Amino acid sequence: MAWLDAVAFDENGLVAAIAQDADSGDVLMLAWMNRAALAETARLGEAVYFSRSRQRLWHKGERSGHVQKVESIRLDCDGDAVLLSIRQHGGIACHTGRRRCLFRQLVNGQWQTTDPVLKNPGDIYGQ
Amino acid sequence: MAWLDAVAFDENGLVAAIAQDADSGDVLMLAWMNRAALAETARLGEAVYFSRSRQRLWHKGERSGHVQKVESIRLDCDGDAVLLSIRQHGGIACHTGRRRCLFRQLVNGQWQTTDPVLKNPGDIYGQ
């Protein structure tokens, strides 16, 4: 697909993908996509990333049910960043059970956790 | 500084940094920081990135005047993404003269440019 050729995948074949909540505007997480993940995200209308740790496509929510419905896909000027506007199923994007992965804020030289755990990871992943 | 040790810089010593407009909530750009860039961003209260093309610290706005005043710095769960809430001086984050770098949206299989050029790059950079 021609639109995929505009994406500047890096030396590992990946592009950074930011997921932003379509309602609140909050940035929830940053993950990575290879060409297949981005193509599948567009086809499916749900976020599909590439898991660097597992080295495979990762349909977000495949285990947790916390699927991200994609409202729009954006690309930056030099093609190496993608922005997804998404609706987060279950209201939890982070594997720690928090609303977003970006749950720490730098305050007086220390990272403060600002967001509560909404659901125990053991309950999310059935461990 | 201890807080910097929580950041998982990659094999190139870099971490992805997202800049989000503190007023509109729009994601303006994604760039990269090394340890020195992140330390300097926190110290200065203005975004300092690491330019991969020039291989040096890049105080955003150093040529254009389009400085980013940093309101807050966030870190994600696995420490490999940073989120800056910023106020964009001049209202232009992109070197193309647009408000944001993420100015293309995927519509019917094509990237559509949704944001106008607010200022000619030649006028910004004095070429």
Spatial separation of the C-alpha atoms in residues A92 and A101, rounded to whole Å: 9
For the stretch B109-127, what's the b/e string if a residue is b when 16 or more beta carbons lie within 10 angstroms of its beta carbon? Answer: eebeeebeeeeebeebeee
pLDDT tens, residue by residue, A6-65 = 999 999 999 999 999 999 999 999 999 999 999 999 999 999 999 999 999 999 999 999
* Phi, psi dihedral angles at A15 (to 5 degrees): -130, 145
Residue ranges of domains in chain B: 2-118
User: Is 80 exceeded by the pLDDT of residue B78?
Assistant: yes
A102–B83 CB contact, under 8 Å: yes
Of 3.40.50.10490, 2.60.40.1170, 1.10.10.60, 3.10.20.810, the CATH number of A2-118 is: 3.10.20.810
Instruction: Determine the straight-line distance between the first and last CA of chain B, rounded to whole angstroms.
Output: 40
User: Is 90 exceeded by the pLDDT of residue B13?
Assistant: yes
Mutate to test the interface with A, among B78, B94, B108 (most CBs of A within 10 A): B78
pLDDT at B91: 96
User: Is 80 exceeded by the pLDDT of residue B127?
Assistant: no
Q: Does B102 touch chain A (CB under 8 A)?
A: yes
* Among A27, A73, A101, beta carbon nearest to B106: A73
User: Is 70 exceeded by the pLDDT of residue B32?
Assistant: yes
User: Is 70 exceeded by the pLDDT of residue B43?
Assistant: yes
Spatial separation of the C-alpha atoms in residues A35 and B34, rounded to whole Å: 26
pLDDT tens, residue by residue, A61-118 = 999 999 999 999 999 999 999 999 999 999 999 999 999 999 999 999 999 999 999 9
Chain B residues within an 8 Å CB radius of A95: 77
B2–A29 CB contact, under 8 Å: no
The residue whose two tokens read 């309950």 is A123
B29–A111 CB contact, under 8 Å: no
Q: For B125, left (φ over 0), alpha (ψ -120 to 50), or beta?
A: alpha
* Among A2, A6, A102, beta carbon nearest to B74: A102
| Numbered residues of the known binding site of A for Mg(2+) | 76, 78, 80
Mutate to test the interface with B, among A71, A74, A96 (most CBs of B within 10 A): A74
Q: How far is B125 from chain A (nearest CA, A)?
A: 17
Q: How far is B34 from chain A (nearest CA, A)?
A: 17
B25–A29 CB contact, under 8 Å: no
Residue type, A74: R
B103–A6 CB contact, under 8 Å: no
> B26: annotated binding-site residue?
no
Please give the average per-residue pLDDT across B62-87, as a whole number.
97
pLDDT at B1: 82
pTM of the model: 0.96
